[in-house]
Chains A and B, each alone.
Chain A
């Protein structure tokens, strides 16, 4: 079933990513981690559907935020990040997906691992934790290309300073800030060991990013003694125009 959302706000997160706030009158509510499908239809009837994770926490205002990264050859993301304007209508289907979700009733420690724009559904979980008043320990490992590619930077910083039970580690793959202790590079076993909960705390892991990132992160987590059943993953492909 397709719903119609009205764009009520736009905010640039980075040079290539934009958050779109939609008001959806018949929105049934969502759970952190779910996504929506967005359908764009051209005047000749051609339509394209892409999935985008919801960035906002569940709320009673019928509002949904999506953060979309622009892919150079994308069919949908250039429109959503450059053309769409406040007042425009977008067709969406959702919320969808009942597996890669965090519910405020969960009491175990949570380890989030994001690769690039894979932060989006994890941010919904962090925001949901705040809005639900949960005191569950959250830890985020956020791997990005370079410092300018970090989404939600100020909000994450405020959270990490205000709340001792949210800790955030950044890892950079191409360029790191000056004097950063770790050389830029892909995630590895040492990084996972130093920046994620140990397996004896029996955390639940949520890993989201490009497929290759998710594969290596979950391999390192399993090798570190974590039960694969506690590792929830969401992958997106380089050509899928996803997120």
Chain B
């Protein structure tokens, strides 16, 4: 076991923040990384929550997939790190 300290969670942990914006659960959707093409459930991404917002990174290449920042009464969402999100419409409970 290494002594490395881990400072990330999984994309699961962003479900509450994302539910402010999206009607259905984004974390169960498949997300394709715009940088390396890896396709994983959003819940499996590495999530950094220490800054003023939330940053999700690709598990395969660590490219930034999503940034979500709250500034007073506004929410800024940057998803250009993802090519697409694909949803299973049979299991869309948030």
Footprint of B on A, CB under 8 Å? 1, 31, 35-37, 49, 51, 93-100, 186, 211-212, 215-216, 232-237, 240, 242
* Chain B contacts for A186, CB-based, 8 A: 1
Known: A97-B25, A99-B43. A35 touches B8 (CB 8 A): no
Return A82 CB to nearest CB of chain B, in Å: 24
Encode B9-37 as 1/0 by CB contact (under 8 A) with A: 11111011001000001011000000000
Return B40 CB to nearest CB of chain A, in Å: 9
Known: A235-B9, A237-B7, A237-B9. A99 touches B16 (CB 8 A): no
**A94 CA / B11 CA spacing, docked (Å):** 16
On whether the beta carbons of B15 and A97 are closer than 8 Å, the reply is yes
On whether the beta carbons of B8 and A97 are closer than 8 Å, the reply is no
Known: A37-B16, A99-B28. 19 other contacts (CB 8 A): A51-B16, A93-B19, A95-B93, A96-B16, A96-B19, A96-B94, A97-B15, A98-B43, A98-B91, A99-B41, A100-B10, A100-B12, A211-B8, A211-B9, A233-B10, A234-B10, A235-B6, A235-B13, A236-B9
* Chain B contacts for A94, CB-based, 8 A: 16
Minimum CB distance partner of B48 in chain A:
A237
Contact count band on B: 20 to 34
**A212 CA / B93 CA spacing, docked (Å):** 30
Known: A98-B27, A211-B8, A233-B44. A242 touches B91 (CB 8 A): no
Minimum CB distance partner of B42 in chain A:
A99
* Chain A contacts for B91, CB-based, 8 A: 98
**A99 CA / B45 CA spacing, docked (Å):** 12
B49: interface (CB < 8 Å): yes
On whether the beta carbons of A98 and B7 are closer than 8 Å, the reply is no
On whether the beta carbons of B13 and A242 are closer than 8 Å, the reply is yes
Return B56 CB to nearest CB of chain A, in Å: 13
7 A-B pairs (CB sep. < 8 Å): A35-B15, A37-B16, A97-B12, A100-B43, A212-B1, A233-B44, A234-B12
On whether the beta carbons of B49 and A240 are closer than 8 Å, the reply is yes
Minimum CB distance partner of A1 in chain B:
B19
Contact of B27 among A49, A93, A97, A240 (CB under 8 A): A97
Minimum CB distance partner of B92 in chain A:
A98
Known: A100-B43, A233-B44. A93 touches B16 (CB 8 A): yes
